[in-house]
Chains A and B, each alone.
Chain A
Amino acid sequence: MIDDTTQAGATVPSTPQHGQDVQDVQDRQSGQSAPHQVHPALGGAQPSPGSEPQPLAPLLLIDSLGKFYRDFPAVQGVSFAVGPGEIVGLVGPNGAGKTTILRCIAGILRPTSGDAVSAGYSIVSQTAEAKRNIALIPETPNLYELLTVMEHLRFVHMAYGETEAFEPRAQALLEHLDLWERRDSLAGTLSKGMKQKLAVACAFIHSARIFLFDEPFIGIDPAGQRAVREMIQGAASNGAAVLISSHILDTVQHLCPRVLVLHRGVLIAQGDLGQLRHRASVGEDVSLEDVFLALTRGATP
């Protein structure tokens, strides 16, 4: 049983987050990097200048997404949307399908059914264009051990066909993440935390509009966590859509105004903390952790 809050797009904010001006975000959306062809699921049109202010179209739209591994349904009929400037948390027990959803959105896995539309492009039919707008930060930083820090960034910059100057952007990123001194070190010689930071840097070296984080804070020192948190919030305040999958519910509660709860491949609830408390029939002062446990314990998807 899924309540109203789980309908795709129902909770996409009609106003930008973090004090962002509506017109700013719309300008960014209709800027040079805007898609030439908008996916029909988004209505197929951008707001024209001078028209009535319309609710912002979601940057990320997941439509009845399903993924089977042979006979096993990892994800079934998941629908949700993430608007520009929005940070959304994705939580669920182990094996709930969180990573599978992120991988489907990122185009690593092909959905068995449904679609993931990123910045107007379908990952199924317009794969390259959709991927150009997405940055994925995986849970385990898998890097090329024989590539240096700087070479990783250069490779990703080239792979995404970036035209913006590389050097200043790379330097700023590495300095922010405290990796500048190690720019010529091979990735194989870095500690786990540094590798995680490098994976974050790789995600931010290109102009993504949708960020997918899979447990972004695991293995990073407190200063690094703060730096990554600032980058996430900075991306959102610049109009990017951010989806964070994590088991650290305290972080999710503080970072994500809206949370999606996944259980056995099915989206069982979504909304802000108040809506989730209502859905779980718990008190007004309970934490996300208690809400999560209440929702997943009794859920029968």
Chain B
Amino acid sequence: MRALIYLKLHLLKNGILSVLTNPKRLVFAVIFVVWMGANILAAITARLTGGAAGVGAHGLTVPEVHLRLGMVALLLMLTATAIERGLDGAVFSFSAADYDLVFPSPIPRRLVVIGRVVADALSLLLWVGIFLLMMLAFLPLRWEGMAGTPAGIGAAWLVGWAYAVLVVNGARILELVVAGSQAAVGSAVRRLKTTAYAVVILAAVGAVWAISRGAGQSGAVLDVLGRPPLLVVFWPMLSVAALLTQQTPPLMASFAVTYGLLGALSAAAVVGVCLLDRDIIEVTIEHSARVSRIRQAMRSQNADALALERMQGRPANQRSLLPNWGGPFWALPYRTLAETSRAGTLRVVGWGFAVVIPGLLATWLPLDDDVLRVLVGPVAGYTLFLLASFHALRFRAELGHIALLRALPVPDWQLLAGLSLPRPLAHSIGVVAALIGIGIARPGVAPDMLLAVAMCVPLAACTSSLVGAIAACLFPEATDAAQRFFGGLIHVAGMTLAFAPAIALVVVGTVLGYAGPMVGILGNLGLIPVVVVSWLVAYHLFRKFQPGDE
């Protein structure tokens, strides 16, 4: 025990020191602390002055029943994800160092597991607290539920924590039990997973459908979820959501029984994990090794290694989804599609959700059409910006094996096109689909504006990808922190410059009151010369690029 405490304390001490002595990490830490402090201050100020803060200050209110249903849906998704990971044997993971230094030592395994479960529970306490602060910051405080009072915040924190501990350790028990008898329960696991997905999707679709028809329907959904036999499954989620949204504190007796039971279940889950530790190391070793490799790949920004990890363990029938078509020109797009097709069902479902979610949010969020119209452009631009970082990462990884690619019978311009354009174009299709979703969900939002943004998205995505390729060619070494920093700087600065003409033209067109298609054409007129210049610069650098230039 002494050795484990020594280990944890020194890891913590050195971790804090490494943040304090590293300027880059320190800046992020300071920003995070200031942000959290500001949230707390805003919440306290709002409480003291009796006024509203955060988004609520702008006069937005959310009906309590919507909040409660939204929270149930969120908890349901988190729970389903935890269960899915538990069935996949991917909840518990230890570091590679633990395997080499702790597990071969005479320290009893049970002690190691107990230490880990306790440490994780404390970590969950912290994260639930941060989540609550974020809620207080972003949710309209004009709504005065339990979470609006200090006692309510404290109670919500404890209840949320108990729920998180229950879900995480419940999933761990599932992982240990299933992994111990994998052969026997293999098909049952598949059925369970399918059922879990189906429940989540049906619940999400049902909730959105109900919400779109007003608060009364939302209440009806909550009523249904709160009746037996569904209550057995949804009771913990409903309890947590009720505590957070209750206008008046519940009756003491009911409060004690309900949340006492939740606490007891959480404690039982913790004890269950500690008692089931017999094969815990073997169950987790494969996943832990994978987590370790993923962390290593992320640290060194190795996109290839990350993609490889994603593909590991995919069924064989996902390895030949694409027909063998086309000549050398299509080789790279083919490869991109082949890689994408192996991303796994969950990821594909995730992408589907990402496309649908903007439409759902547009339906759900009580934003005025005018506000939404103003937000659409910046949000689409920000999405492209995020995707551009991913494209730059991929391109840098491709440069790592440029010698192999150059050996292909494909000219340089086709190589550059194949490496830099298919992904942004595919992603821009997703963004356009999301915009169409918003248009369908909120007919009040001017379709002209959506059309204008949608028209600009493909060229904007190609521009950002090409600027990323330029940055990658100039600073190709992903493992060098300085090169990563300057590459990122060039990328951001380049995109800002590249988008400036298009943004200026779009603003001018909007101010002059042009129709959506005309604004879109103006935006593209601003983007076309930038795409051409970016292409020429990227092509020049790409042709000159030699492995080892770094």
Contacts and interface: CB of A to CB of B under 8 A. Distances in A.
Contacts of B281: 108-109
Interface in A125-164: 127-129, 131-132, 134, 136, 138, 140-148, 151-152, 154-156, 158-161
Contact of A146 (B18, B108, B292): B18
A144 to B, nearest CB: 5
Contact of B101 (A132, A140, A202): A202
Given A147-B10, A155-B3, A134 B100 contact: no
Interface string B156-183: 0000000000000000000000000011
Contacts of A140: 96
A215 to B, nearest CB: 13
Contact of B102 (A110, A145, A159): A159
Interface string B90-106: 00000111011111111
B71 to A, nearest CB: 36
B95 A131 contact: no
A129 B4 CA distance: 18
Given A71-B183, A143-B97, A131 B11 contact: no
Nearest to A145: B97
A144 B97 contact: yes
Nearest to B292: A142
Contact of A159 (B11, B14, B107): B107
B368 interface: no
B279 interface: yes
A297 interface: no
Interface residues of B, number: 30
Contacts of B96: 140, 142
A128 B109 CA distance: 10
Contacts of B104: 106-108, 131, 134, 136
Interface string A176-203: 0000000000100000000000010010
A128 B7 contact: no
Interface in B69-105: 95-97, 99-105
A141 B105 CA distance: 16
Interface in A75-124: 106-110
Given A108-B281, A146-B15, A146-B18, A151 B10 contact: yes
A128 B97 contact: no
A138 B7 contact: no
Given A108-B99, A144-B95, A155-B6, A186 B18 contact: yes
A144 B108 contact: no
Contacts of A107: 103-104
A70 interface: yes
A197 B358 CA distance: 53
B282 interface: yes
Contacts of A146: 10-11, 14-15, 18
Contacts of A134: 104
A128 B6 contact: no
A61 B4 CA distance: 30
A66 B108 CA distance: 23
Interface string B206-235: 000000000000000000000000000000
Contacts of B15: 146
Contacts of B102: 159
Contacts of B105: 131, 156, 159-160
Nearest to A109: B282
Interface string B1-32: 01110110011001100100000000000000
Given A147-B11, A155-B7, A142 B282 contact: no
B94 to A, nearest CB: 11
A280 B95 CA distance: 42
B106 A147 contact: no
B2 to A, nearest CB: 6
Contacts of B95: 142, 144
A127 to B, nearest CB: 8
Given A144-B95, A146-B18, A159 B182 contact: no
B6 to A, nearest CB: 6
A131 B14 contact: no
A136 B104 CA distance: 7
Given A146-B11, A159-B3, A160-B106, A110 B100 contact: no
A128 B107 CA distance: 7
Contact of A132 (B6, B14, B103, B106): B106
Contacts of B6: 154-155, 158
A40 to B, nearest CB: 22
Contacts of B103: 107-108
A186 B10 CA distance: 11
Interface in B272-295: 279, 281-282, 285, 292
A188 to B, nearest CB: 9
A154 B14 CA distance: 15
A11 to B, nearest CB: 27
A191 to B, nearest CB: 14
A142 B97 contact: yes
B72 to A, nearest CB: 37
A60 to B, nearest CB: 14
A44 to B, nearest CB: 23
Contacts of B279: 110
Nearest to B96: A142
B217 to A, nearest CB: 48
Contacts of A106: 104
A291 B381 CA distance: 65
A217 B481 CA distance: 30
A202 B101 CA distance: 8
B101 A161 contact: no
A70 B178 CA distance: 12
B3 A147 contact: no
A141 B18 CA distance: 22
Contacts of B2: 158
A142 B7 contact: no
Contacts of A147: 7, 10-11, 14
Interface string B108-120: 1000000000000
A199 to B, nearest CB: 7
B490 to A, nearest CB: 28
A142 B99 CA distance: 8
Given A136-B100, A142-B100, A143-B97, A161 B18 contact: no
Nearest to A202: B101
A148 B7 contact: no
A68 to B, nearest CB: 10
Contact of A155 (B101, B108, B282, B285): B101
Nearest to A140: B96
28 contacts: A70-B183, A107-B103, A108-B99, A108-B281, A109-B282, A110-B282, A127-B106, A128-B106, A129-B106, A131-B105, A131-B106, A136-B100, A138-B100, A141-B100, A142-B96, A142-B97, A142-B100, A143-B100, A144-B7, A144-B101, A145-B97, A147-B10, A147-B11, A151-B10, A155-B3, A155-B6, A159-B106, A186-B14
Which 7 A-B residue pairings sit nearest by Cβ, starting from the closest? A142-B96, A158-B3, A159-B3, A159-B105, A146-B14, A128-B106, A106-B104
Interface of A: 70-71, 106-110, 127-129, 131-132, 134, 136, 138, 140-148, 151-152, 154-156, 158-161, 186, 199, 202
Given A142-B97, A161-B106, 16 more contacts: A70-B182, A71-B183, A106-B104, A107-B103, A109-B281, A128-B108, A138-B100, A140-B96, A142-B96, A143-B100, A143-B101, A158-B2, A158-B3, A159-B106, A186-B14, A202-B101
